[in-house]
């Protein structure tokens, strides 16, 4: 039986129909709402490519049933800034050229955003630990580290 679910994404409420309320939030965001800032990497909460914020927390959207996201404020990469008014993290990722293929990048930014909101001036160790669950195969980690540091300074 199809069920209607209201999702609050980037401040806007969208109603979608789902056949299966246990469907991960990722599929609703990517396929129903056409958001491209979060990516499918594993579907197992192991890589962080699908990271979004639910409230203040960085969450793996591939492992959260869409029904459990209902009514909660969801923020995706698209919602934190756009060309012309970038979030300091987005700007810092450009300034540091902190990507190669960019597939992991959105998840890195969202994870770092949650970190900086709870810790305004993290040490390198703290940044590394906070991003330990975000995998990057291209090897962009040192640049990501520099970008998060730069964003923290900009946001101070």
Partner 1 sequence: MDLPMMDRRGFLAAGGGLCVGLSLGGGRASAQGFRAARGLSLGEVDTFLAVAADGRVTLYSGKVDLGTGVRTALMQIAAEELDLPMSRVSVVQGDTLLTPDQGATISSVSISRGGVEVRRAAATARAALLAAAAREWSVPVEGLATLDGEVRAPDGRALDYGKLVGGRTFMLKVDPKVKVKDPASYRLVGRSVPRVELPAMVTGQFEFMHDVRVPGMLHARVVRPPAMRGRLGEVDDSAARRIPGFVATVRVRDFLAVVARDEWAAIRAARALRAQWARWEGLPDQSQLWASVRASPILRDDVTQNVGNAPLMLQKATRVLRSTFDFAIHTHGSIGPSCAIAQWEDGRLTCWSASQQTHELRRQLADMFALGADQVRCLYVEGSGCYGRNGHEDAAADAALIAREIGRPVRVQWSREDEHVWDPKGPPTLIDYVAGLDERGQVTAWTAEAWIPQGQSVSRATLVAAELGGLPTDASHPGSVQQHLAIQYGFPNIRSVAHRLAHTPFRPSWIRTPGRMQNTFGNEVFVDELAQAAGVDPIAFRLRHLSDARAAEVLGRVAKLAQWVPHEATRPVLQAGRRTGRGVSYVKYELVRTYVAVVAEVEVDVDSGAVRVTRVHVAHDCGQVINPDGLRNQIEGCVIQTASRTMVEELRFDRSTVTSRDWASYPIMRFPDVPDVTIDIIDRPGEPPWGAGEPTAAVIPSAISNAIHDAIGVRMRSVPFTPSKVKAALRAAREAGTRG
Q: Tell me if 29 contacts ligand FES by CB under 6 A.
A: no
Least distance between partner 1 and beta carbon 123 (Å)? 12
**From the list 43, 63, 65, 72, which residue makes contact with partner 1 (rule: CB under 8 A)?**
43
Contact partner, 60, from partner 1, ligand FES, none, Cβ < 5-8 Å per class:
ligand FES
Report what 71 binds from partner 1, ligand FES, none; CB cut-off 5-8 Å by kind: none
For residue 140, state whether it binds ligand FES (rule: CB under 6 A): yes
Residues 79-108: x/- map of binding to partner 1 (CB under 8 A)?
A: --xxx--x--xx--xx--x-xxxxxxxx--
Q: Does 37 bind ligand FES (CB under 6 A)?
A: no
SS3 per residue for the chain: CCEEEEEEECCEEEEEEECCCCCEHHHHHHHHCCCCCCCCCCCCCCCCCCEEEECCEEEECCCCEHHHHCCCEEECHHHHCECCECCHHHHHHHHCCCCCCCCCHHHHHHHHHHHHHHCCCCCHHHHHHHCCCCCCCCCCHHHHHHHHHHHHHHHC
Is residue 141 involved in binding partner 1 (CB under 8 A)?
yes
């Amino acid at each position: 039986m199809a069920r209607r679910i209201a999702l609050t994404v980037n401040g806007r409420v969208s109603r979608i129909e789902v056949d299966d309320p246990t469907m991960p939030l990722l599929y609703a965001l990517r396929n129903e709402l056409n958001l491209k800032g979060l990516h499918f990497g594993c579907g197992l909460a192991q890589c962080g490519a699908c990271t979004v914020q639910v409230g203040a927390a960085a969450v793996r959207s591939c492992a959260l049933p869409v029904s459990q996201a209902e009514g909660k404020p969801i923020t995706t990469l698209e919602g934190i800034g756009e060309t012309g008014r970038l979030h300091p993290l987005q700007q810092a990722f450009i300034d540091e050229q902190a990507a190669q293929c960019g597939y992991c990048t959105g998840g890195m930014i969202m994870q770092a955003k949650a970190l900086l909101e709870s810790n305004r001036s993290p040490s390198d160790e703290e940044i590394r630990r906070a991003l330990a669950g975000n995998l990057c195969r291209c090897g962009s980690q040192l640049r990501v580290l520099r970008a998060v540091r730069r964003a923290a300074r900009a946001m101070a």
